[in-house]
Amino acid sequence: MRNRIAITTALAALALPLPAFAHPHIFVESRLEVVAGADGNVSELRNVWRFDEVFSSSVILDFDKNTDLKLDEEELAELGETMRTSLGDYHYFTTLTVNGAPIGVQKPDVIHVTYKDNQILVFFSVKPDKPMPLKGRLTFGIYDPTMYTAIDFPTDKDLVAEGAGFSHCKHQVVRPDPDEVLSQNSATLTDAFFNDPTGTDMSKMFATRLELTC
């Protein structure tokens, strides 16, 4: 059971890769705040994730050690640490680019977890693993490359850039149209693409993202 919850908490298999044709089993409403530092670089990305009630209930079943049908502070802390460890393999579902070049992220110091209104809420910040200057075209997105989790930003206001350093940048929230993505990539979206055992980058094509031109 612990192995199973580790898999679902990571929102993907830890030991067994999910097939490329996987579809969402977990649903998350997200908010992303991109913060500009005083040094002219992106300083951090603040995440808030709200998990669906079904997944949240399954988490309680596996982490409620004292069987009181709720998660106390120690149990929530254990869940946060499990996520902090497991999601590292997936870069915390964070994708950053500068002029098309990818930037990685550092492991967060802590992932805070609360339980409210029958839903798990997760709060954490990540930092780029190298300087990310506020110049050129910057993109910021949160998506699950395994397609096991559907991550949604309910409104464009849930993707925000904060800090004076972004004042000279043009902001745009991009929500790709699925039909348009499929049409533009029809030549590559073949059976071989979907059945590639190494996985695909398909979810990135459909992912909502924040684009800044500075």
For the segment 71-124, what is each residue's pLDDT rounded down to a tens digit? 999 999 999 999 999 899 889 999 999 999 999 999 999 999 999 999 999 999
pLDDT above 50: residue 11: no
What average pLDDT does the structure give for the chain?
A: 83
Q: What percent of the chain lies above the pLDDT cut of 90? A: 59
Q: What is the pLDDT of residue 181?
A: 55
Read off the pLDDT of each residue in 24-51 and give the average, rounded to a whole number.
95
Q: Give the pLDDT band of residue 198 (cuts 50, 70, 90).
A: very low
Distance CA 14, CA 16 (A): 6
- Give yes or no for a contact between 80 and 125, defined as CB atoms under 8 angstroms apart: no
Domain ranges of the chain: 2-213
Q: Give the pLDDT band of residue 169 (cuts 50, 70, 90).
A: very high
pLDDT above 60: residue 128: yes
Q: Are strands 26-36 and 159-162 parallel, antiparallel or unpaired?
A: parallel
Q: What is the pLDDT of residue 195?
A: 52
Q: What is the pLDDT of residue 121?
A: 96
Distances (CA, A) of 191 to 18, 94, 184, 195, 200: 17, 27, 16, 6, 12
pLDDT above 80: residue 60: yes
Per residue in 24-36, pLDDT (tens digit) is: 788 999 999 999 9
- Which phi-psi region, left, alpha or beta, contains residue 188 (left: φ > 0; alpha: ψ -120 to 50)? alpha
Q: Are strands 42-51 and 119-126 parallel, antiparallel or unpaired?
A: antiparallel
pLDDT above 50: residue 5: no
Nearest of 54, 93, 94, 51 to residue 76 by alpha carbon: 51
